[in-house]
Structure 1
Amino acid sequence: MKKFNVCIVGGGSTFTLGFLKSFVRMRKEFPLQKLVLFDIDEKRQELVGKFGEILFKEQFPELEFSYTTDAKEAYEDMDFVFMQMRSGGLPMRAKDEHIPLSMNLVGQETCGAGGMAYGLRSVVDMIKAVHEIRKYAPEAWVLNYSNPAAIVAEALRREFPKDKRILNICDQPENVVRSCSRLLGCSWEDLDPVYFGLNHNGWFTHMYDRNTGEDLLPKLKKLIKENGFLPQDAEQRDPSWLDTYGMVETMMNDFPEYLPNTYDQYYLYPEYKVATSDPNFTRADEVMAGREKRVFAECKEVIEAGTLGDKFDDISDAHAEMMIEVAIAIAYNKNDRHILIVENNGAIANMQDDAMVEVVCELGANGPRPMGVGNISQFYLGLLVNQVSSEKLLVDAYYENSYQKALEAFTLNRLINDAKKARKVLDLLMEENKGMWPELR
């Protein structure tokens, strides 16, 4: 059986530990020959890398494991490159959230003004990274789940129009599916969803039982009304995520036709989200005070002990497992169904063909085959066309170095929706992102 070479870009991420453990748990389904972590932040990656050395020595000794800050060493001979880049790191994420909130605008890493600030940084770094990958690994599959995925996907579509081995993915729709399985008391693998939208802006129209064909969405609506909605891994989540999932009940009370993605709350209730946010302690601060400290404390504990001890368990990591399952579908031409970000080309019949939409696809060795959902109704179409227009204008701004296009993108965005506010927040974010954004003139 072929063994695969994998690189994780963003090796110092707090999510990398979940991947390392998942590669051990899934080594029979996805056998690895070589795993390389790559990060420009050597100090941050070193902790995760040293943890990995101990983990694999004890649990997966045949694996060739290393970590590096050199692109050639990272990418050469790779079969898959997993992209989890965070341009600007968590300190810049905090600014993306704090600055809009200081103006009574939604402060969120992927939505609204903060999401667009992050988007421009990510586009700069992602395009550079993919060019480097193609220099050293022309045939590698690039599995991108760096945020904000919709903006990154639009830029990569334009920069690499003929490259069919770049796949843009987000784990949030699958997290919602898994959370539905918790509510239904079944395995998430038994659920077969129908979904449409943009990244972080979509809806489930059906949730079929894979074994019987029954549509479980009516039952889910009833259960959510009676019991609320929790993430599948609620016990491991920070408080803000519990509130995020809790909003699903509110959204379904107001818009009961479909089951929403959790991020839809920002587009449906922006004033409420601002009013209930702490401008001095956003989700970025929560991550730095919570998950980041927990992950690096675990790394240090294992490194100091020189052994894993009880730091390896069978608790699944939904985020990592989903990405590995995507790689497996490609590697073994399984034609499994996954929710992916792809060029529309009629998947949503009444949206423009070059929109990067998020729909269920069959995925195999030749890439994704989107499953069409037909026309969508005016309410959802209006929300999506507004958002995709904002995202396309922002990518125009990147390519044209155009302040005007950036202003149009910010003005059109539903979470700003005012030209004076758009100009003010754009100017503040430009100042904070000097050297990380393209120069806008």
Structure 2
Amino acid sequence: MKKYSIVIAGGGSTFTPGIVLMLLDNLNKFPIRKLKFYDNDEERQSIVAGACEIIIKEKAPEIEFVATTDPEEAFTDVDFVMAHIRVGKYAMRELDEKIPLKHGVVGQETCGPGGIAYGMRSIGGVLELVDYMEQYSPNAWMLNYSNPAAIVAEATRRLRPNSKILNICDMPVATEDLMSKILGLSSRKEMNVRYYGLNHFGWWTDIRDNDGNDLMPKLKEHVRQYGYVTNAGQNEQHIEASWNDTFLKVRDTYAMDPETLPNTYLKYYLFPDYVVEHSNSEYTRANEVMDGREKFVFGECEKVIKQQSTEGIKLHTDDHASYIVDLARAIAYNTHERMLLIVENKGAIENFDPTAMVEIPCIVGSNGPEPLSIGTIPQFQKGLMEQQVSVEKLVVEAWATGSYQRLWQALTLSKTVPSAKVAKDILDDLIEANKEYWPELKKEAELVTANV
């Protein structure tokens, strides 16, 4: 069986040790000959890489391991790029969340103004990775799970239309893990799901077991009372206190359309006033992550390095991230597995923009994804999605053309923002905070003058 070479772009991420442990647990299904880390922050990556090198020596010493900040070394001779970068790291995420809250608007890393700010930083970073891959390993595939996935996916569709990149998100998978616990199943893979929407903006319409029995009634009854909160507890990734509120709030989102089951993130668009009211503008989810997962992961990595052993270490596999291996296997071995991916609509949703990047079930093989037909969708969901996809397209337009106006329009159109004035006030603050990361934006009059 062929062994594969992988580069993890974002080697200094708090998620990287969990991804490595997950890959090592699945070597029988997806063998690896070489594993590389790439990051532009050498100091941060060195801690994670130092620990992961020891983990690999203990579990699979035959795998060649490299950690580098050199793109040529990282991207040469690779079959897959697994990308999960965070441009600006958690310090910028904190500003993404706190600046909108200062204006009485939802502060969240992928939704509303915070997601737009993060998207404007991420576009250039992801495109840079695509270009490195195509320069040094043109036959490789990129499995991108960098956020905000919706904006990144639109940017790659528009600006790198022929690139071999698959945009994916773990939130539906993590939610399906919770659903399987609610149903008493051993795995989400015992469910066949129908789902449609945009990333962090979608609905499950049908869930059945492998024998075709309808599981929606039991799930709906639970969600009506408890949201996605389960007695079995949440997964290791979603352990911050604010996640419990997010899972519980699903009850109210579900009540708006009891025919479907909603993605958790819809609360930010449908109940923005509630979210702001229940947010602490001094201590947001970014602070929870920095004080929780970030300190834990880096602390455990430093212990591994200090004792040169994983004995007694509490780093854990991100089980729900096994979808990354499933996706890589589908491409490598032409498995035709059914998976949720973010792909260009092209008529899969009949009554929706064919150029929209939608999150829908696809059959995945060596040639990439084949989207399944969804048919027509109801007016309520269609209206919400049209508004949100326009936001995403305007953000990419603003990044590509350097237009202040387009980004102001994007913020104004976001369902989380109450007016054009508030949108402009937030935008001006975000521009100031993101000087180091965003392209320079010019107002329409300046753009006209520049083109004369």
Relative to the length of structure 1, the TM-score reads: 0.97
Q: Match of 1:71, as an amino acid?
A: P
> Which residue of 1 is the match for residue 447 of structure 2?
none
Q: Structure 1 residue 148: deviation in Å?
A: 0.5
Q: How does 1:232-381 map to 2 (within 5 A)?
A: 234=234, 236=236, 237-311=239-313, 316-381=317-382
Inter-CA distance 404–228: structure 2 relative to 1 (3 Å threshold)? closer
> Which residue of 2 is the match for residue 207 of structure 1?
207
Work out whether residues 356 and 389 of structure 2, in 8 Å CA contact, stay in contact via their aligned partners in 1.
yes
Q: Which runs of 5+ in 2 are unaligned?
A: 443-452
Q: Secondary structure at the match of 2:142?
A: strand
Q: Match of 2:256, as an amino acid?
A: D
Task: Supply the distance in 1 between the matched residues of 2:218 and 2:276 (Cα, whole angstroms).
Answer: 32
Q: Secondary structure at the match of 1:354?
A: coil
Inter-CA distance 40–22: structure 2 relative to 1 (3 Å threshold)? same
Task: Supply the distance in 1 between the matched residues of 2:227 and 2:262 (Cα, whole angstroms).
Answer: 13
> Which residue of 2 is the match for residue 412 of structure 1?
413
> Which residue of 1 is the match for residue 224 of structure 2?
225
Q: Structure 1 residue 319: deviation in Å?
A: 4.0
Work out whether residues 341 and 357 of structure 1, in 8 Å CA contact, stay in contact via their aligned partners in 2.
yes
Q: Secondary structure at the match of 2:61?
A: coil
Q: Deviations over 1:383-420 (max 9, x none)?
A: 00000011111111111111111111111111114110
Task: Supply the distance in 1 between the matched residues of 2:121 and 2:314 (Cα, whole angstroms).
Answer: 35
Q: Match of 1:329, as an amino acid?
A: A
Task: Supply the distance in 1 between the matched residues of 2:84 and 2:418 (Cα, whole angstroms).
Answer: 30
Q: Deviations over 1:311-346 (max 9, x none)?
A: 378x65234311121111111100101100000001
Q: Secondary structure at the match of 2:110?
A: coil
Q: Structure 1 residue 162: deviation in Å?
A: 2.0
> Which residue of 1 is the match for residue 450 of structure 2?
none
Inter-CA distance 233–11: structure 2 relative to 1 (3 Å threshold)? farther
Task: Supply the distance in 1 between the matched residues of 2:295 and 2:314 (Cα, whole angstroms).
Answer: 18
Q: Structure 1 residue 301: deviation in Å?
A: 1.1
Work out whether residues 226 and 248 of structure 2, in 8 Å CA contact, stay in contact via their aligned partners in 1.
no
Task: Supply the distance in 1 between the matched residues of 2:225 and 2:262 (Cα, whole angstroms).
Answer: 17
> Which residue of 1 is the match for residue 93 of structure 2?
93
Q: Match of 1:179, as an amino acid?
A: L
Q: How does 1:4-403 map to 2 (within 5 A)?
A: 4-163=4-163, 165-186=164-185, 187-210=187-210, 212-230=211-229, 234=234, 236=236, 237-311=239-313, 316-403=317-404
Q: Structure 1 residue 213: deviation in Å?
A: 0.6
Work out whether residues 38 and 74 of structure 2, in 8 Å CA contact, stay in contact via their aligned partners in 1.
yes
Q: Structure 1 residue 218: deviation in Å?
A: 1.2
Q: Deviations over 1:352-383 (max 9, x none)?
A: 10000000101111100111111111100000
Determine what percentage of the aligned residue pairs are the same residue.
47
Work out whether residues 350 and 376 of structure 1, in 8 Å CA contact, stay in contact via their aligned partners in 2.
yes
Q: Which runs of 5+ in 1 are unaligned?
A: none
Work out whether residues 193 and 206 of structure 2, in 8 Å CA contact, stay in contact via their aligned partners in 1.
yes
Task: Supply the distance in 2 between the matched residues of 1:312 and 1:406 (Cα, whole angstroms).
Answer: 43
Q: Structure 1 residue 238: deviation in Å?
A: 1.4
Q: Structure 1 residue 223: deviation in Å?
A: 2.2
Q: Match of 2:436, as an amino acid?
A: G
Could you say what the CA RMSD is over the residues aligned between the two structures, in angstroms?
1.3
Q: Secondary structure at the match of 1:340?
A: strand
Q: Deviations over 1:163-219 (max 9, x none)?
A: 2x2100001111111110000000211101100000000000011112x11121111
Work out whether residues 120 and 438 of structure 2, in 8 Å CA contact, stay in contact via their aligned partners in 1.
yes
Q: Deviations over 1:75-111 (max 9, x none)?
A: 0011000010101110000000000000010000000
Task: Supply the distance in 2 between the matched residues of 1:310 and 1:47 (Cα, whole angstroms).
Answer: 18
Q: Match of 2:417, as an amino acid?
A: I
Inter-CA distance 233–141: structure 2 relative to 1 (3 Å threshold)? farther
Q: Match of 1:337, as an amino acid?
A: R
Work out whether residues 410 and 417 of structure 1, in 8 Å CA contact, stay in contact via their aligned partners in 2.
no
Q: Structure 1 residue 253: deviation in Å?
A: 2.8
Task: Supply the distance in 1 between the matched residues of 2:331 and 2:206 (Cα, whole angstroms).
Answer: 25
Inter-CA distance 393–209: structure 2 relative to 1 (3 Å threshold)? same
Task: Supply the distance in 1 between the matched residues of 2:331 and 2:355 (Cα, whole angstroms).
Answer: 24
Work out whether residues 175 and 318 of structure 1, in 8 Å CA contact, stay in contact via their aligned partners in 2.
no
